[in-house]
Amino acid sequence: MTIFKKIIDKEVPADIVFEDDKCLAFRDVNPQAPTHVLVIPKKEIASLATAADEDSHLLGHLLSVTRRLAGELGLENGFRVVINSGAEGGQTVDHLHLHLIGGRGLNWPPG
Ligand code: AMP
């Protein structure tokens, strides 16, 4: 079981900023910018690479929630959404998550 599943089950505390029946959003414990929130599905999907075509509606919902949160969290000057997938993608927790990052200028390309 991943740490994110334990956060979904409220076995591990997190600074939750949004929750509905399909997803949860909470602040990253090691923020890379003034605003750094993770948006995760409650369904246990290991990564974007292993999501199924029938998860399309859920994936769209995660993006919509992320867009709404960006507005609510005051990121009107811009923000970045990142999904790390797999070892070379830099994924460290095997539960799909969208990073919503903002509040400072962000460089490109990422490392
Ligand atoms: P990734 O490297 O894309 O898999 O991102 C995993 C993210 O989860 C990292 O940014 C971590 O800082 C974050 N993280 C790990 N454990 C926790 C936790 N208990 N609460 C909040 N964020 C966490």
21-74 per-position pLDDT tens digit: 999 999 999 999 999 999 999 999 999 999 999 999 999 999 999 999 999 999
CA of 105 to the centre of ligand 1 (A): 21
CA of 92 to the centre of ligand 1 (A): 7
Give yes or no for a cis peptide into 31 (omega within 30° of 0).
no
Active site residue 95: no
Task: State how beta strands 16-19 and 79-82 pair.
Answer: unpaired
Q: What is the pTM of this model?
A: 0.98
C-beta separation of 14 from 38 below 8 A:
no
Instruction: Tell me which of 57, 95, 97, 99 is the catalytic residue.
Output: 97
Q: How far apart are CA 106 and CA 111, in angstroms?
A: 12
Which atom from ligand 1 is nearest to the alpha carbon of 93?
Answer: 4
Residue 106, pLDDT > 90, answer yes
